[in-house]
């Protein structure tokens, strides 16, 4: 494994454009469980009832009932060593952008500056009637005494700015993600099972463009065959070792 870390450090040093694609596995060590794992949110709340766009429009109370369990997890979570390592790689000029499937805002809290949130964020919401936007604290205040937070201007329903099942991704965010994937020469794929589309296609864009792919995960993915290096382990343990190996290489070069 140490040889793999040294190899990744060398590839990182020689790469000009490095990006990261992250999934739920990078945040489990921050206390946010994978929704699809045993005991995860979707084993207890049927997403077709609680988390589709159609179900929200028809009966938003279902989502907001589930959010009573979900939002405290997100609100209390803090960046772990993997988030911090990516932010440090950016500071060292070796992570141009983070593309994430997560809605938890942890990359921003770790000080990554360019974060493309494919599936949106829980930190804001938008009134479905008048389009007014609200931040998370405002939404919590509006929800006091009500199951559903409603707009202070028009009493319309507020929808969190997350992408529900059956709802299209933000086209401009997806296009920027594709541009980063096709123009990078190194992509870290961290904690992503690559089961959700179109996010799962981004490593293929990078691969077809000639980029090196480094997968960091605790299990295999359906796209492992296109990975150049696979580092098996928890993101919060593996990424600090990647950072340490890169720092060691830089120190050796200076000496």
Active site residues: 119
Give the C-alpha separation, 142 to 158, whole Å. 10
- The full DSSP string for 21-58 is EE-GGGTGGGT---TTSTTSHHHHS-HHHHSBHHHHHH
Task: Give, in order, the Cα–Cα distances in Å from 185 to each of 73, 173, 218.
Answer: 35, 20, 24
Q: Are 199 and 181 in contact (CB under 8 A)?
A: no
Give the C-alpha separation, 84 to 180, whole Å. 21
| Strands 212-217 vs 229-232: parallel, antiparallel or unpaired | parallel
Q: Are 50 and 62 in contact (CB under 8 A)?
A: yes
And the tokens for 123?
Answer: 């930190």
Give the C-alpha separation, 44 to 34, whole Å. 13
What is the DSSP secondary structure assignment for residue 131, as one 8-state letter?
A: -
Q: Give the up-direction half-sphere exposure of residue 50: CA atoms within 13 A in the CB hemisphere.
A: 16
Q: Give the up-direction half-sphere exposure of residue 177: CA atoms within 13 A in the CB hemisphere.
A: 26
Q: Are 110 and 128 in contact (CB under 8 A)?
A: no
Give the C-alpha separation, 169 to 119, whole Å. 7
């Amino acid at each position: 494994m140490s040889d793999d870390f040294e190899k990744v450090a060398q590839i990182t040093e020689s790469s000009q454009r490095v990006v990261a694609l992250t999934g739920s596995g990078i945040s489990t060590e921050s206390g946010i469980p994978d929704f699809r794992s045993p005991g995860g949110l979707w084993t207890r709340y049927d997403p077709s009832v609680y988390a589709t766009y159609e179900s929200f429009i028809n009966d938003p109370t279902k989502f907001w009932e589930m959010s009573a369990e979900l939002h405290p997890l997100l609100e209390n979570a803090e960046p772990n060593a993997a988030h911090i390592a990516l932010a440090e790689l950016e500071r060292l000029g070796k992570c141009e952008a983070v593309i994430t499937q997560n809605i938890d805002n942890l990359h921003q809290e770790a000080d990554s500056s360019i974060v493309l949130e494919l599936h949106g964020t829980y930190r804001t919401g938008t009134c479905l009637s008048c389009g007014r936007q609200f931040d998370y604290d405002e939404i919590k205040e509006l929800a006091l005494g009500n199951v559903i937070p409603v707009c202070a201007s028009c009493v319309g329903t507020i929808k969190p700015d997350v992408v529900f099942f059956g709802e299209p991704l933000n086209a401009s965010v997806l296009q920027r993600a594709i541009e980063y994937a096709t123009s990078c020469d190194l992509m870290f794929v961290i904690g992503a099972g690559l089961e959700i589309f179109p996010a799962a296609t981004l490593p293929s864009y990078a691969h077809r463009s000639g980029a090196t792919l480094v997968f960091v995960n605790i299990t295999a993915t359906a796209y492992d065959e296109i990975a150049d290096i696979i580092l098996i382990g928890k993101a919060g343990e593996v990424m600090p070792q990647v950072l340490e190996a890169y720092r060691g290489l830089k120190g050796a070069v200076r000496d």
